[in-house]
A and B are shown apart, each in its own frame.
Chain A
Amino acid sequence: MNPGSWLQNYPHFLEILYLATGRLLSFFDPLVSRLGYDRVDRWLRPAEELSKRVIFDCRMCGQCVLHSTGMTCPMTCPKNLRNGPCGGVRTNGHCEVIPEMKCIWVMAFERSKQMPAFGSEMMDLQPPVNRQLEGSSAWINMLADKDSQLPAGWEEASPRRFIKIEEIEAWKPSLSQTAA
């Protein structure tokens, strides 16, 4: 068990932390780009790996989607699913592949319900993983725009086009919280 995993019980705190990290990174972006993304990648990678591994059991896929997956690392799913749970989840909510582990998507969905800012991003379609980015720093890839190069036809792919996210029971409580 990773020592920081208890933090995952506070998904709302983590999404704020995510926002803050994002702001901090973009603040330093001009500096980083002057130093060269590749060079900073080498410095930053250990720090990112350590912090994210301790909390999320991060696998360094290099294209972080944590905020869209209930602050739960999708690469810890034995099938590496990035769009939600497979049909093999056991009736007790445990994983098909590792019976003693809780399905990470069952946890992700529960956590997303406590995330007013990003919870409903669970509905967005996650494109195939770019395996070339594996092992590199997702933070730098974000700044260098490497993680957002979608294959054609993947832009804006979300059922939001035809369903009203505000009306979905699961995220209603946390969404109304922000409205209040």
Chain B
Amino acid sequence: METEFKSDGRLERVLRSGRFAVTAELNPPDSANPQEVYDAALVLSSVCDAINATDASGANCHMSSVAICALLTRAGYAPILQVSCRDRNRIAIQGDVLGAAAMGVCNVLCLTGDDISVGDQPQAKRVFDFDSIQLLRTIKIMRDEGMFLSGRKLTAPPRLLLGAASNPFVPPYDWRPLRLAKKVEAGADFVQTQYCYDVPRLRQFLKQVCDMGLDERVYILIGVGPLRSEKAAEYLRTRVPGVVIPDKIVDRLRKTPKHKKREEGKRICVEIIQQVQEIKCVSGVHLMAYRQEELVAEIIEEAGLLPRPMQPLARDSDPRARPSKRRRANRDGDQ
């Protein structure tokens, strides 16, 4: 991988340093009160390297990801802007990406997006003007070539680390590593996977990924999350697209007495993190604790991932940001 930084963010620096990275998902509020975003971010910020701002995941309406990112950067946090292709066409998306970068967002996660039919407003119109690979490539071209899809020049290109999603747990299984290869070619610098509850399947996927040498081209973060009860597990695997939970895990929760279920769900999550940490090509974990944010810190601590590398949040005081700044100075000087 090149030595020049692509973004000014902390996530890229943690990943490049080879330390095990931790990202976490922020549950977006159904509210116009910024304090709710700050409250949610507060419990996450000290235990993770970047916070994912979801883009109406599950096609349920919430505060927009661009707005959440704006609030987070204002408060000095490091967000990952999630962009899905479901609700906006190419014009809206490219504009949003520029705006987000201007507000200090350093990471973008490019998603296809869950279908409208699973959300709270199934009457809506599907957009899907881009697919996730086209989205990735378009933003990569904005960043690296400094132009819109049309070829029109940007006066200042966005500096972003590009992320993609991957789901190794659904068919066609032998296609999944190939799809990741396509995403890497399209421009992915890191990938966050869907919830992993099936480590053997993950290992198989990663083996194919490593055989193709993709682990040297992309940082892989494994999605994990605690299950509150067997009912929650059942809901996740039947109602949320793409989540696969083996019966073994659901049974384990079912057999646990009621007052210990939460604890058990947490333990399963910690165990999975520890197993995943053993796998060579894994660069980190991505925690998705829907409506259980308070557990995130405990899980990360119990998995032995604390303390997080503390870095100055403001990018100007980050000494490692210098190479890229010099590069920009040179470029300006050339003109």
Contact = CB atoms under 8 A, between A and B. Distances in A.
Interface of A: 78-91, 93, 96-97, 103, 105-106, 109-110, 122-123, 125-129, 131, 151-154, 157-159, 161-163, 168-170
A95 B194 CA distance: 17
A83 B134 contact: yes
Interface stretch (B28-36, B44-52, B174-182): B174-182
B126 interface: yes
A71 to B, nearest CB: 16
Interface string B196-222: 000000000000000011000100000
B151 A151 contact: yes
A116 B10 CA distance: 46
Contacts of B138: 128
Nearest to B186: A125
A126 B137 CA distance: 10
- Chain B CB within 10 Å — which of A109, A110, A125, A129 has the most? A125
Contact of B114 (A88, A93, A123, A162): A88
B90 A159 contact: no
Given A125-B133, A152-B147, A83 B117 contact: no
Given A105-B172, A159-B181, A79 B217 contact: no
Contacts of A159: 181-182, 184-185
17 contacts: A79-B113, A79-B131, A83-B131, A84-B182, A87-B242, A88-B114, A88-B115, A89-B171, A89-B242, A90-B170, A93-B172, A96-B242, A125-B133, A126-B134, A128-B130, A153-B137, A163-B212
What 6 pairs across the A-B complex have the smallest Cβ distances? A87-B167, A88-B241, A153-B141, A83-B133, A159-B185, A159-B181
B72 interface: no
Given A84-B179, A97-B115, A79 B126 contact: yes
Contact of B178 (A80, A128, A153, A168): A168
Interface in B130-158: 130-134, 137-138, 140-141, 144-145, 147, 149-151
Contacts of A163: 181, 212-213
Contacts of A81: 112, 128, 131
A125 B182 contact: yes
Nearest to A99: B117
B128 A79 contact: yes
B206 to A, nearest CB: 16
Contacts of B141: 151-153
Interface of A, secondary structure class, is loop
Contacts of B185: 125, 157-159, 161-162
B112 A86 contact: yes
B143 to A, nearest CB: 11
B147 to A, nearest CB: 7
B137 A87 contact: no
B166 interface: yes
Contact of A106 (B114, B115, B172): B172
Nearest to B212: A163
B239 to A, nearest CB: 11
A75 to B, nearest CB: 11
Given A79-B115, A88-B114, A170 B131 contact: no
B244 interface: yes
A51 to B, nearest CB: 26
B171 A93 contact: yes
A157 B134 CA distance: 11
B211 to A, nearest CB: 9
A77 B117 CA distance: 14
A156 to B, nearest CB: 10
A154 B137 contact: yes
B66 interface: no
Contacts of A131: 129
B165 interface: yes
Contacts of B165: 87
Given A89-B171, A125-B182, A152-B145, 13 more contacts: A83-B134, A84-B133, A87-B112, A87-B194, A88-B242, A91-B244, A96-B118, A97-B115, A110-B172, A128-B138, A129-B129, A157-B185, A170-B174
